[in-house]
Structure 1
């Protein structure tokens, strides 16, 4: 049986992480920075409710940041906060990325060998394939079943056939919005010699996570992001895994990849996310209401969702036509109809109650 290290790129042992000494308490003259302090104050008035007529604000994000200095190269404070928040043991570490996209790229770069292959269900998050193509990584896909569940028998068969270095699994899946069976994913993790990356970008809206399983598998990585829960402008994601794997992947990360402001706000979020949790609950409530409204519209098939978006299929007429009519009404959704396995489908993000009502009224006109 192969070891995970057998899949790592050939030159990984010749590479070193970019090392930055801790400068706290030092006269800092090593990085060609402007020595004159420039401190900016961050204060965000964030509504606790997204739909309330009278908004209650909570100034949770209030901090000062020095912008004349380079940011913490290793995001030490943020990583410590994340470790504490998720209760991870010392044998696990994390990497902070400029969004999940950078983390996906780093993972692929770390395992880039001519004989390696990435495996992924289809359809799933488009960046897995795009980044693989840019890096000229071999990429194999296994179509989902008609109900968008994993075809576990074909997945296991493909694993035996190609012995993939990396398997990406979005949990819940984007763009279908559903959660796959945990038992199926467990079978995949056990069956492969390579790593399995569970992408939990939408995990906050599902109430499910594989972080609790990370102690059971040496080849499991779990990826999360702050983008979908209300902090997309920060461009920040994080990857958890066993120390030795994280260390090797981290060798490919460019220094100072996360700016000081994103680090500071993200750390505050990990320590007190009350306002985020309140908004997530409202989005979930609005999601269920929106699904019900979609299911009441004739000639539409709406799929159940565990995310902050809903996939729906146009059963009569053209998805392109409906998309264009919505666009003419200044409503922008995602046209998924060219995606393999999603013919005739559109995807809508769950908005405020007012936004959802406007969308439904326009959609009804577009379908007729």
Structure 2
């Protein structure tokens, strides 16, 4: 490299916004050679016979053509799968992340802000700040990670947010929030309220409330789901449901052809075999209960009840426990630095029976 090259590079970087230069990229932990229990993925693959059938189907896709009708077919198929009415609007994203980005663009006006309970999904704040929106984080109740209704309503009155995110269940706490509180927040909100249901496949039917019913009563409510936790994290399909006139505004911002023909075809194939994924989700709910009970029995471990495919637990020393597990070949998520309420907290993805058995054995060794 020459001095002239370095000067030219510096000059080019100087054209990037200062807040972008000061930001940090989202870091994905390397899982090479490790038991991967850090990212809330479905650990099950398709049975071999369905793998072959999917491969044969993908081999016939016209890769020389841009995505067109099949993407629209996928959008309506996902709306039907969710149980939405025919007149409900739907738009697709390259995972929920892209939809969060589009929503941020949609409300980005001078003085506008985004509000969400914290701790929560870090991308709500990240995408808001990319659009130079203020982000207002309202702490959850410290004892049970439930919504602080008084604080939420006070923040709404003070800041008049253009966009509110309510993750149901929440990440990383895996908690469901009181449906009546959610409805009162939606009624008080001057702008959009997005129910982020990424972990909806793992909610016990007796525990969960219908966000679609809330959406039908409150026109400012949108429901966002993803196929990542369904079992297609690598396919990157997110979808947003809501009043057609409202979803249409977000659709205007969606990049053309943002869903590849291969991803669309894989998603349609998965929906045709939804019973296989439903059985996997049922198994993971059972394994979640087993893992929770086992964590409760370990000395120095305090887990919170979960309605996702993850369990949040507090340990005596999160950093040391994380490092010890990684040294033993098990990768989890240390979330203790994300928010003061998560001090010394770790997040464990629910795995297969064998994976959970190994995790518990290694964790017990670490703690002893």
TM-score (norm 1): 0.82
Could you tell me how far apart the structure 2 residues matched to 1:265 and 1:75 are?
11
- Partner in structure 2 of residue 252 of structure 1: 253
Could you tell me how far apart the structure 2 residues matched to 1:88 and 1:149 are?
27
- Partner in structure 2 of residue 197 of structure 1: 194
Equivalent pairs counted in the alignment come to 315
Alignment of 1:142 with 2:138, yes or no, is yes
Give the stretch that moved more between structures: 179-188 or 266-275.
266-275
- Partner in structure 2 of residue 336 of structure 1: 335
Alignment of 1:65 with 2:64, yes or no, is no
Deviation at 1:250, TM superposition (A): 1.3
Give the stretch that moved more between structures: 332-341 or 57-66.
57-66
**Correspondence 1:352-367 to 2 at 5 A:** 352-367=352-367
Could you tell me how far apart the structure 2 residues matched to 1:337 and 1:120 are?
19
- Partner in structure 1 of residue 271 of structure 2: 270
- Partner in structure 1 of residue 9 of structure 2: none
Could you tell me how far apart the structure 1 residues matched to 2:173 and 2:136 are?
19
Could you tell me how far apart the structure 1 residues matched to 2:86 and 2:278 are?
27
Superposed CA offset, 1:89-135 (max 9, x none): 34421111000000000011011001211010010001001111122
Higher RCO (C-alpha 8 Å, min separation 6): 2
1:100/1:237 contact within 8 Å kept: yes
Superposed CA offset, 1:277-308 (max 9, x none): 01001000011000011001001101110000
- Partner in structure 2 of residue 21 of structure 1: none
The unaligned stretches of length 5 or more in structure 2 are 1-42
Secondary structure of the 2:66 match is: coil
The alpha-carbon distance between structure 1 residues 86 and 338, as it changes in their structure 2 partners (threshold 3 A), is closer
- Partner in structure 1 of residue 286 of structure 2: 285
**Correspondence 1:172-183 to 2 at 5 A:** 172-183=169-180
Could you tell me how far apart the structure 1 residues matched to 2:287 and 2:80 are?
31
The alpha-carbon distance between structure 1 residues 87 and 327, as it changes in their structure 2 partners (threshold 3 A), is closer
Could you tell me how far apart the structure 2 residues matched to 1:80 and 1:293 are?
41
- Partner in structure 2 of residue 110 of structure 1: 106
Superposed CA offset, 1:212-261 (max 9, x none): 32211110100000101210010110000111111111111111100001
Alignment of 1:321 with 2:355, yes or no, is no
Superposed CA offset, 1:158-207 (max 9, x none): 11111110000100000001100111100100111101000000011013
Could you tell me how far apart the structure 2 residues matched to 1:267 and 1:178 are?
30
Secondary structure of the 1:172 match is: coil
- Higher normalized helix content (fraction of residues): 2
Secondary structure of the 2:150 match is: helix
- Partner in structure 2 of residue 170 of structure 1: 167
**Correspondence 1:4-153 to 2 at 5 A:** 57-58=49-50, 61=54, 63=57, 64-72=60-68, 75-146=71-142, 147-153=144-150
The unaligned stretches of length 5 or more in structure 1 are 1-48
Deviation at 1:77, TM superposition (A): 0.8
TM-score (norm 2): 0.82
Could you tell me how far apart the structure 2 residues matched to 1:50 and 1:124 are?
26
Runs of 4+ in 1 over 6 A off after TM superposition: none
Superposed CA offset, 1:13-50 (max 9, x none): xxxxxxxxxxxxxxxxxxxxxxxxxxxxxxxxxxxx95
